[in-house]
Chains A and B, each alone.
Chain A
Amino acid sequence: MMKSIKLVEEKREKNMSKPVKPMSMKDREEVLGKYHPDYMGGTKRELKVGIDKGMLLYNGIIDLLEAKPVLAPKDVDLSKIDYDVDLLIIGGGGAGTVASLFAYESGVPKDKILIITKLRHGDANSMMAQGGIQVADRPEDNPALHYLDIYGGGHFTNKPELARALALDAPGIISWHEDLGVMYDRNEDGEFQELSGGGTCRNRMHSCKDYSGMELMRNIRDEARNLEIPVLEFCPVAELLMDDKGQVAGGVAFNLETFEYYVIRAKATILATGGSGRLHLANYPTTNHYGATGDGLIMAYHAGANLLDLDTIQIHPTGDAYPEPLVGILSTEKIRGLGAIPLNKNGDPFVFPLEPRDVESAMFIQECKQGRGIITPTGMPGVWLDTPMIEILHGDGTIETKLAGEVRKFKRFGIDMTKHPILVYPTLHYQNGGVEINEKTETRVPGLFAAGEVSGGVHGKNRLMGNSLLDFNVFGRRAGIYSAKYVKKAKIGKLTLNHLDKYNKMLEQAKITSAKTAPIILPEYRGEMAISRALDIF
């Protein structure tokens, strides 16, 4: 690696004087077809079972949809109810917590709300978002322009009414954040500092240093704790419960530490389980948190909800490839925005630095597959991002002031990004689609609402940066409000898990004999040696 860095240093001046030009549409399509997992053969297939039979989805998701439901109905006694609530919220991240606050405000008593979560309250992708949140509030901007960006960025596949809600609710959301006490980056006159982002026509990204998601999540969670909204941690819901009228009526939770199940009856259920980066679709490392295993998609599908846009994934070109502890973690797009150029192992540039995310990623992958990538001591491929160029372009100290978070991250491992290039490789970042919802966050199954990354339709086939923090706030809020309305009228019938028996029968009829079960709840990262010697005797 040091030899390669020498080449990068020697050629730096030349590389800066001769930039690579943007690609033609034809060249873009060609490299996407060959190296982007959305377009390559072998990453997707048609689903053989359920309401979306015939739909093209990523293999890793189909594997789970075609697996046996993890819960056997005969193991669960539904006559004893452990928690009897009005509103069950599955997932303690951004969407779920926001939903709880607005459900409470809309009249659901706090002891009739239950947030149930797989890990700790707040362990979620929401906490990790760095960049910021898009809100059209400047005079030179407006929600219609924001709508156009969302819809065009999604390749015109979004559900228009959801994109409209995202753009129009945004200013109200940020005002609510001000009331909560979120510390946004502001100018001296109190106006927000607003940056641009990929695919946006106006500067509208509001940030809290590069800890935007953490600052939002901390405040929202603190408010839920002040209100004493009940939260059950380390108890993922394994399957939804239904009643004899075909409504979703709660869920069966699984205590990860005692292995007990709990029957939770609820008049309305909000699915806020987040994304699926930990499925490592197309074998990518991921920026996602430990619990992002797509459980919500699976249990909702078992209950008859339909899915949207899971034939695309968002891979981000600049995941870290070195050092090993950082593999898959994000290095912000801003680094390229400030002038750092991607280089191969010979120190040569090979791509225009600011192609769209999918194209830039495909070019990085091509470079590595064709043997011009750098291989780390732990076997990870990558290409250089020549960060010292930023200081040459904008003057000493620029990196320290504009990329403080990144500097801290690399400094932890003795890497000085102001003097040496960093190594990057594409990483799995976001689940664009999910369970289809409408403007009221209703799914097609009565009693089941969904909000946040688990839902589908808001972003179409591609999410723009800054719109996921916005998503969990806008639709978390709507889920809280509309579910609160719903519970006032809802009547639950006799509880049942018959939908799982039915699903098993469908699998049988489709002649699917997978040994897998789903949802998987947590990813498996134990060493192969340890697993292969493990005995099942205790």
Chain B
Amino acid sequence: MTKKEQILLEKPDIKKAEDVEKKAGTVEVFIMGKSYKVPAGLTIMKALEYAGYRYIRGCGCRAGFCGACSTIYRIEDEQKLGFDLACQKVVEDKMYLVQLPFVPASKAEYEIEKIKPTESTILEIYPEIARCVSCNTCTKSCPQDIEVMKYIQRAVRGEIAKCAEISFDCIQCGLCAMRCPADIKHYHVSQLARRLRGKYLDTRSKNLSKRLKEIGNRKFDGEIEKLIKMDKKEIMELYKTRKIEAEEEDTGGD
């Protein structure tokens, strides 16, 4: 068997793109300027793979959480540039696209134990935020639709908690930082804000500190030891008959 036959044989057969092509028709995309016909309905990520590209960079979780696949595109004859995640955006006809393999945005180093959440903390660590010209390009570039400029202005004003709240859904793809005329590294700024808030501003759990003391005093060691030594039948019975707190409530879930 040749290497090629081996690869084809082992390819996961979840769904054949060739069948997709027959059913959904094709569109023309320009991958870094080169024309390829790909099945309509594929994401940019899957379209590149269909065309024969094998990812090393520009591909991570494939589900919109990691920010590895930021993509810049422009539809032929249109004025506006588009920004999105390759794993979440479906290809459009005559789309010219390029992916961002890396974002050169330096992060400040700080000792979270030593800094304090004052009005000027963020400004001291990232002074460039004061240069924001309110052009809102960052917000327009955000694939998560976060109000990026708003949280930067909150940071300038020293409103740490609000900056943290607005920025919470940031996947740190870096598109904002690549577009900013004032060279702000928005996603690093908001990371600092969220850590300051989580560490210093949110009220701590009292239940947790009580539990930690109990564990320190080995309160549960005996009980768990008993469960470990219990014979299988007994522990199975105990498990089946245990009271479930949330029987009638809404459940969470991953």
Contacts and interface: CB of A to CB of B under 8 A. Distances in A.
B61 A148 contact: no
A379 interface: yes
A131 to B, nearest CB: 3
B208 interface: yes
B90 interface: yes
B9 to A, nearest CB: 9
B212 A171 contact: yes
Contacts of A144: 220, 223-224, 227
Given A289-B61, A524-B11, A528-B8, A136 B211 contact: yes
Contacts of B65: 127-128, 211, 213-214
A196 B19 contact: no
Given A123-B60, A144-B227, A280 B250 contact: no
Interface stretch (B75-83, B151-159, B178-186, B193-201): B193-201
Contacts of B164: 183
Contacts of B220: 142-144, 168
Contacts of B112: 180-181, 223, 226
A183 B235 contact: no
Given A202-B245, A256-B56, A534-B52, A132 B252 contact: yes
A327 interface: yes
Contact of B253 (A167, A198, A213, A380): A198
Given A219-B198, A290-B60, A337-B250, A528 B245 contact: no
Contacts of A189: 203
Given A198-B251, A207-B252, A128 B61 contact: yes
A379 B61 contact: no
Pick from B87, B112, B209 the residue with the most CB of A within 10 Å. Answer: B112
A534 B4 contact: yes
B10 A409 contact: no
Nearest to A222: B191
Contacts of B197: 181, 183
A324 interface: yes
B206 A190 contact: yes
A123 B66 CA distance: 7
A338 B250 contact: yes
Interface stretch (A50-58, A99-107, A328-336): A328-336
Interface in B206-249: 206-212, 215, 220-221, 223-224, 227-228, 232, 235-236, 238-240, 242-246, 249
B24 interface: yes
Contact of B50 (A280, A323, A530): A530
Contact of A196 (B90, B228, B242, B251): B251
A120 B252 contact: no
Interface string A293-331: 000000000000000000000000000000111010110
Contacts, number: 318
A127 B49 contact: no
Contacts of A527: 17-18, 49-52
A532 interface: yes
B235 A156 contact: yes
Contacts of A202: 245-246
Contact of A180 (B41, B50, B195): B195
A526 interface: yes
A167 to B, nearest CB: 7
B107 interface: yes
* Interface footprint category on A: 35 or more
A148 B242 contact: yes
A207 to B, nearest CB: 7
Interface stretch (A3-11, A437-445, A485-493, A515-523): A515-523
A191 interface: yes
Contact of A195 (B18, B172, B236, B252): B252
Contacts of A409: 64
Contacts of B15: 327, 378-380
A361 interface: no
A152 B19 CA distance: 44
Nearest to A119: B60
A197 interface: yes
Given A172-B212, A211-B168, A413-B90, A530 B52 contact: yes
B196 A283 contact: no
A75 interface: no
B180 to A, nearest CB: 20
B117 to A, nearest CB: 10
Contact of B4 (A123, A164, A213, A532): A532
B124 interface: no
A530 B195 contact: no
Contacts of B41: 323-324, 377-378
B215 A168 contact: yes
Interface string A125-163: 101111110011111101111011001100010001100
Given A144-B223, A378-B20, A531-B52, A190 B88 contact: no
Contacts of A39: none
Contacts of A120: 60, 66, 68
A532 B8 contact: yes
A209 interface: yes
A152 B241 CA distance: 11
Nearest to B161: A183
Contacts of B52: 526-527, 530-531, 534
B169 interface: yes
Contacts of A196: 245-246, 249-252
B239 A151 contact: yes
A523 B164 CA distance: 36
A40 B60 CA distance: 32
Given A191-B207, A196-B250, 17 more contacts: A131-B252, A148-B238, A178-B204, A183-B194, A190-B204, A195-B252, A196-B246, A197-B254, A207-B252, A223-B112, A226-B110, A289-B66, A291-B60, A324-B42, A325-B46, A330-B254, A528-B17
7 contacts: A195-B250, A214-B171, A257-B56, A280-B12, A323-B90, A354-B251, A526-B52
Interface of B: 1, 3-4, 6-8, 10-20, 23-24, 41-43, 46, 49-57, 59-66, 68, 87-90, 107, 109-113, 164, 168-169, 171-172, 191, 194-200, 202-212, 215, 220-221, 223-224, 227-228, 232, 235-236, 238-240, 242-246, 249-254
